[in-house]
C-alpha cells in the first residue's frame, strides 16, 4: 500500500512537471511576437496554479482562453512594458560599460529603478490569478502596488531570485528556453502563497 501511494505521488509530480514544461513550450512559441510576449506571460500566470494543483483539466484550452483575454485587454500596455524593458536593459548595459562620474550616478538611479519595476511586475503576476476578468490596467496596478507595500521583504527576495536567474541566463542562454516564462511565473506563484502561520511546534520553549 505504501509503495502504491509513493508511485502515485511520483506520477502526480511528473504530471505537474509535464504540464509546466508544456506551458513553457507554448509560451516560447507565442512570445516570439513583440505584442504577444507579456499577454502570454499573463496567461501563463493565470493557469500555473491549475497546473500545479492538477484540479482542472484541459489546461491548454484554458491557457489560450486566458491569452485571448490578456491580448484583448492589455495588448497596448504590454507593448509599453516591452519597450520600457528594452530601454531599461539598454540603459543598464550602456552605463555599466561607460566611464566617469556620470556612470556612478546613472547606475545609482537605474539599479534601484530596475528593482522597483521588477518588484511591481512580480507583484502584478502574483495577484493576477485571482484578478477578475473585468480587471483593467489601473485596477491591476493598484492591487499590485498594495501587494508590494504589504509584503516588501518577500517581493525583494523574489526580485533577487529573478535577477540571479537573468544573470545565469546571460551565461547559459539555453536556460531561456526552459525558464523564460516558468521562472517568473513560479517565482510570482510562490510569492502569492500566504505566509505559513506559526504553530505551537514552531515555538521553542
- The residue ranges of every structural domain in the chain are 2-192
pLDDT of residue 199: 54
pLDDT of residue 55: 80
Whether 82 shows a pLDDT value over 70: the answer reads yes
Q: Please give the average per-residue pLDDT across 118-147, as a whole number.
A: 94
In this prediction, residue 58 has a pLDDT band, given cuts at 50, 70 and 90, of confident
Q: Give 108 or 7, the one with higher predicted confidence.
A: 108
- Cα–Cα distance list, 191 to 21, 37, 113, 156, 159 (Å): 20, 22, 20, 10, 10
pTM across the whole model: 0.88
Whether 131 shows a pLDDT value over 50: the answer reads yes
Amino acid at each position: 500500500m505504501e509503495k502504491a501511494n509513493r508511485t502515485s505521488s511520483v506520477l502526480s509530480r511528473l504530471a505537474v512537471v509535464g504540464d509546466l514544461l508544456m506551458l513553457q513550450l507554448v509560451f516560447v512559441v507565442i512570445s516570439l511576437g513583440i505584442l504577444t510576449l507579456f499577454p502570454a506571460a499573463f496567461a501563463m500566470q493565470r493557469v500555473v496554479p491549475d497546473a500545479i494543483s492538477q484540479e482542472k483539466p484541459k489546461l491548454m484550452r484554458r491557457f489560450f482562453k486566458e491569452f485571448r483575454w490578456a491580448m484583448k485587454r492589455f495588448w497596448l500596455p504590454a507593448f509599453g512594458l516591452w519597450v520600457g524593458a528594452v530601454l531599461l536593459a539598454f540603459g543598464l548595459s550602456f552605463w555599466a560599460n561607460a566611464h566617469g562620474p556620470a556612470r556612478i550616478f546613472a547606475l545609482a538611479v537605474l539599479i534601484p529603478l530596475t528593482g522597483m519595476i521588477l518588484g511591481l511586475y512580480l507583484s502584478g503576476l502574483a495577484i493576477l490569478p485571482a484578478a477578475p476578468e473585468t480587471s483593467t490596467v489601473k485596477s491591476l496596478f493598484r492591487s499590485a502596488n498594495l501587494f508590494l507595500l504589504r509584503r516588501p521583504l518577500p517581493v525583494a527576495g523574489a526580485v533577487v531570485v529573478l535577477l540571479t536567474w537573468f544573470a545565469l541566463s546571460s551565461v547559459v542562454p539555453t536556460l531561456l528556453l526552459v525558464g523564460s516564462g516558468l521562472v517568473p511565473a513560479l517565482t510570482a506563484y510562490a510569492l502569492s502563497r500566504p505566509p505559513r502561520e506559526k504553530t505551537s511546534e514552531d515555538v521553542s520553549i
